[in-house]
């Protein structure tokens, strides 16, 4: 187990979550309908899928961690899972508010 690997994944996840947040806040809300909106929705879904992939990789790193560090890493992982879950919910609610049911 490399805590460095976990930290790198965590940093990538944080950056991706910021990107997702900005896309929802600045682009999805008020974006035009049509092809541009479809492309944005596809990008957001791809980003959310990638966030889930980062979470899975982080979980794998946690399982390989020595016992004294495992609980701390799992706690961090839980917080990130909650954050990604909130972003996913916000994305779905925003789509529903604008009549897109995906």
**Local confidence pLDDT in tens for the 102 residues of the chain:** 458 899 999 999 999 999 999 988 877 777 667 888 888 889 999 999 999 999 999 999 999 988 888 999 999 999 999 999 999 999 998 888 766 655
Q: Which of 31, 17, 45 is nearest to 97 (CA)?
A: 31
The reported pLDDT for the residue numbered 57 is 96
Q: What integer pLDDT is reported at residue 99 of this predicted model?
A: 63
State which residues form the domain around 71.
Answer: 3-97
* Domain-embedded: residue 74: yes
- Report if residue 71 sits inside a domain: yes
CA dihedral 9, 15, 20, 22 (to 10 degrees): 170
The pLDDT value given to residue 17: 97
51 within a domain of the structure (yes/no):
yes
With tokens 């961690």, the residue in question is 65
d(CA 91, CA 63): 30
Is position 45 within any domain? yes
- pTM to 2 decimal places: 0.87
Answer whether residue 102 is part of any domain: no
Q: How many domains does the chain have?
A: 1
Residue 40 class from Cβ within 10 Å (0-12 exposed, 13-18 middle, 19+ buried)?
middle
CATH number (domain holding residue 85): 1.20.58.400
Which residues have CB under 8 Å from 2's CB, separation 6+?
A: 61
Residue 55 resides in a domain: yes
């Amino acid at each position: 187990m490399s805590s460095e690997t976990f930290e790198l994944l965590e940093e990538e996840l944080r950056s991706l979550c910021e990107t997702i947040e900005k896309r929802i806040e600045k682009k999805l809300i008020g974006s035009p309908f049509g092809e541009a909106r479809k492309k944005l929705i596809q990008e957001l879904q791809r980003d959310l899928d990638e966030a889930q992939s980062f979470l899975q990789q982080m979980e794998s790193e946690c399982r390989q961690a020595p016992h004294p560090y495992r609980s701390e890493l799992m706690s961090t992982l839980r917080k990130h899972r909650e954050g990604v879950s909130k972003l996913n919910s916000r994305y779905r609610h925003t789509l529903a508010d604008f009549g897109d049911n995906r």
